[in-house]
Structure 1
Amino acid sequence: MGRLRRSRTHHARRDVSRAARTRVRTKDLDQIQHDIDHSRKKLEKQPIDEDKPGLGQHYCVECGKYYESDAALRTHTKSKVHKRRLKDLKEGAYTVEESQRSAGISAPDNRQRGVEEVARRFGDAGVGSKDEAFVHSAPTKASS
């Protein structure tokens, strides 16, 4: 009988290291939103650059990615990846204020409240009732 290879030698590390690498990392949604708001026309019509794919002429602004040809760009715009990115951009980017609100850290609300708002907050617990208004009213002179 021949020799057998030792079992249980598989380690599931490949996908973790691939996900962590930044070589093929795409732009985040807030960066793309900034590009769309400020310089969309400039990004669509770029000067020729030999270092970029397709000489920098075929750029998808929503995905932040260069393509080799116009046909590749048109195919990409019909793809599910592009449509998903458009849907995410319509939702809006995650802001610092939103993250602070979700963590319960928000600016204090120090505005002055009126009597009606305090009465509404505490319900009918006696604040602002007719009996208290009668007790706290100024005494009137009795006519003689």
Structure 2
Amino acid sequence: MGTGNNRTITKTRRKIRDVDQIKADLLCARHLEQFKDSKRPEDLPGLGQNYCIECAKWFDTETTLKAHKRGKPHKRRVKQLREEPEPDPRRIPGAQTTSQSIGQCYDTQSAHVAHMEVDT
């Protein structure tokens, strides 16, 4: 006779982009443009003009965006983006992983992606 889990519904409604997605936005302008193009401007606050890349949030006015950038949540997110992720303890020592070289964008139109071998 319960009403279900309403908390989960509201939590997913406020979900923002993950740190790895934001890092990809910072490295590649094309990645950020694809994300912005997926949203309709009339549905966004301030018609999508005022966007904080680091926090992945839209704001109504330029003034609120500037106030946000002076605030603690923004500064914490910038610090979090600067830090390298902790190594995964499940990873086998000496295993090779592939990662995209810094500065290269993933091209969704072609199947070819430049990879670089990294020894860990």
The answer to whether the superposition gives a TM-score over 0.5 is yes
Q: Does 1:64 align with 2:51?
A: no
Match of 2:78 in 1: 86
Higher RCO structure (Cα 8 Å, ≥6 apart): 2
2:77 & 2:26 partners in 1: Cα distance?
13
Q: If the length of structure 2 is used for normalisation, what is the TM-score?
A: 0.59
Amino acid at match of 2:15: R
What residue ranges of structure 1 are gaps of 5+ in the alignment? 1-13, 110-144
Paired residues in the alignment total 87
Amino acid at match of 1:105: I
Match of 2:19 in 1: 29
More helix by proportion, 1 or 2? 1
Cα RMSD (Å) of the superposition? 3.3
More strand by proportion, 1 or 2? 2
Give the CA deviation at 1:73: 0.2
Give the CA deviation at 1:18: 5.7
Q: Give SS of 1:31's match.
A: helix
Give the CA deviation at 1:20: 7.6
Bigger radius of gyration among the two: 1
Match of 1:50 in 2: 42
What residue ranges of structure 2 are gaps of 5+ in the alignment? 97-120
Aligned residues with identical type, % of pairs: 36
Match of 1:39 in 2: 29
Amino acid at match of 2:19: L
Q: Give SS of 2:41's match.
A: coil
Written as runs of structure 1 = structure 2, the 5 A alignment for 1:1-144 is 17=7, 21-39=11-29, 49-92=41-84, 94=85, 98-99=87-88, 102-107=89-94
Distance 1:103 1:60, change over 3 A: same
